[in-house]
Chain A
Amino acid sequence: DTAVSQTPKYLVTQMGNDKSIKCEQNLGHDTMYWYKQDSKKFLKIMFSYNNKELIINETVPNRFSPKSPDKAHLNLHINSLELGDSAVYFCASSQRWGLDTQYFGPGTRLTVL
């Protein structure tokens, strides 16, 4: 059973398009996250939701909008894609807000042409 899943695994698109990445966790966790891993493999947190409420919103362009329809899902919508958005995006979840182990999904490799 997959604990944290992401779709799609690969996403290739043109500049200017709008795309979404979906994340689902079946662990019953309260908190979910989005991380971005750049071409140099540097990982940085983008957003965090706790019980569907946005808690962390790092310095991310407002073209990126997370949406949490329920505690098990945290989707990432990106408007007007740019070349610099090419990266691997990881979703993660933890049982509760606060210091806790984060479980990561397999990642979505986004390539913007």
Chain B
Amino acid sequence: AQSVTQPDIHITVSEGASLELRCNYSYGATPYLFWYVQSPGQGLQLLLKYFSGDTLVQGIKGFEAEFKRSQSSFNLRKPSVHWSDAAEYFCAVGAGQAGTALIFGKGTTLSVSS
């Protein structure tokens, strides 16, 4: 069965420091992968997605993610974190009929310290 694992429930990073959020997936075919961010009390906003092609994907707000098929991973990175990046981050894989049903990980809460 398809699944997404985000091993880190909560991460705290100092402002200006680099960030890496981990995501591992289990999927039989070529995965379609997404990272979404949810700010407190808000809906989900797409940061970036991987469908095919270049395994390093650039997204909004300075985020990037690298697809590594051999490790079944799609880790999210940012070189310098800002206080406004504090939020909940969700990794998802497109599954089901035509990849339309998103299967989400349980999320990683990012706190930013000054």
Contact = CB atoms under 8 A, between A and B. Distances in A.
Interface of A: 4, 31, 35, 40-45, 48, 55-56, 58, 90, 92, 94, 97-107
B11 interface: no
B35 to A, nearest CB: 12
A22 to B, nearest CB: 15
A43 B90 contact: yes
Contact of A99 (B41, B99, B107): B99
A43 B101 CA distance: 11
Given A42-B106, A56-B100, A56-B101, A101 B49 contact: yes
Contact of A41 (B96, B100, B107): B107
A90 B42 CA distance: 10
A104 B44 contact: yes
Given A4-B43, A41-B88, A90-B43, A97 B98 contact: yes
B55 interface: no
Interface string B36-58: 10000111111001010000000
B43 A31 contact: no
Contacts of A48: 100-101
Nearest to B104: A43
A96 B90 CA distance: 22
A45 B102 contact: yes
Contacts of B88: 41
A48 B96 CA distance: 11
A56 B104 contact: no
A100 B97 CA distance: 12
Given A45-B96, A99-B100, 14 more contacts: A4-B43, A31-B100, A41-B88, A48-B101, A56-B96, A56-B100, A90-B43, A92-B44, A98-B100, A99-B94, A99-B98, A99-B99, A102-B102, A106-B42
